[in-house]
Amino acid sequence: MAVFTPVTLDDIGQWIQQFPLGKALTIKGIASGIENSNFFLTTERGEYVLTIFENLSFEQLPFYLRLMDHLAARGVLVPAPVATNTGELLASLHGKPAAIVSKLEGRSQMDPQPVHCAAVGAMLARMHLAGQDYPLQQPNLRGLAWWNETTPQVLPYLSDESAHLLRAEMHFQQAFAGCETYRQLQQGPVHADLFRNNVMFDGERLTGFFDFYFAGCDTWLFDVAVTVNDWCINLDTGVLDTPRVRAMLDAYHAVRPFTAAEQEAWQPMLRAAALRFWLSRLYDFYQPREAEMLTPHDPTHFERILRERIATPAPGLY
């Protein structure tokens, strides 16, 4: 469990009054999650999720919360932040930024079938389109600049073979990010971490995307690649499962058709998406933060996926 900042009902008795939610009735720490402290909160008005942000600042957070607000207002299924009585989406709790968002129904689908992948693909395309007129700008903070900064910090811990792969892939991705095809890719706000544990389903019905705290402005294709690399693979080998890949890409394409530049960039983008999570998992593994009972994710999973994407071409976008 990772509740970094404990909160009791007593702590929030007064605090909750700044929201139009009535009295707080129950609060319960949520066991999963490695970035923030999350709680299920029941008030007189309903069920919500309270998040205390452990790493993001008051300056950084409006980008994420206003994005969720923007998307929710346009019918994309995401948690809607609850504004305070003075219209703020953020409040301070135990000296840290905190927000209350609506609670999504359902649970994560950790063994997705093509029907789930299709629902995710269609909603992802809707999200990209709905984000087009989002006025705030923030780069993907886990993009190429962060990879450049992080690579030398993790290289000393790697075997020769893995270090060679990391160096070679960084060269490849630097060239890719500078090429003409890359420049033609559509960009906008992206989720950037749309793994199975960040989507809720009620049976086959998608009820929402959540955990937007890695979102930023990046290519839409990067978002698609991150999502395919988690939803549409054999988890033991990293090999893509064609029926799930097709279901996700076809459903996306039906809402927001992929472009020729995106088709050309697809194979390197799948590698970029694998590299991003290999690097962040290496970083978390070798530079662990202090946290209660925190288990870092396994970096070798994404090393395996990266090797597989280099070795085997993925099905095309369309």
Ligand X SMILES: Nc1ncnc2c1ncn2[C@@H]1O[C@H](COP(=O)(O)OP(=O)(O)OP(=O)(O)O)[C@@H](O)[C@H]1O
Residues engaged in binding ligand X (CB under 6 A): 30, 32-36, 38, 49, 79, 101, 103-104, 197-198, 210-211, 213
289 belongs to the binding site for ligand HSE (CB under 6 A): no
Residue 281 binding target from ligand X, ligand HSE, none, CB below 5 to 8 Å by type: ligand HSE
- What's the token pair of residue 219? 């290519």
Closest to ligand X by CB, 109 vs 198, is: 198
CA 266, 268, 269: angle at the middle one, nearest 5?
Answer: 60
Residue range at the interface with ligand HSE (CB under 6 A); choices 155-163, 184-192, 200-208, 275-283: 275-283
How many CB atoms neighbour CB 244 within 10 A?
23
**Which pair of tokens denotes residue 28?**
């319960």
Q: How many Å apart are CA 52 and CA 35, to the nearest integer?
A: 10
Binding segment for ligand HSE among 16-24, 72-80, 118-126, 276-284 (CB under 6 A)?
Answer: 276-284
CB contact set of 163 (below 8 Å; sequence gap of 6+) = 155
191 binds ligand HSE, rule: CB under 6 A: no
By the rule CB under 6 A, 277 interacts with ligand HSE = yes
Complex with ligand X: residue 33 or 97, whichever CB lies closer: 33
Look at residue 210 and give the partner it binds from ligand HSE, ligand X, none, a contact being a CB closer than 5 to 8 Å depending on partner kind: ligand X
For residues 151-175, one letter each, b for 16 or more C-beta atoms within 10 angstroms of the residue's C-beta and e for the rest, the string is beebeeebeeebeebbeebbeebee
Task: Using the minimum distance from each CB to ligand HSE, give the nearer residue, 209 or 277.
Answer: 277
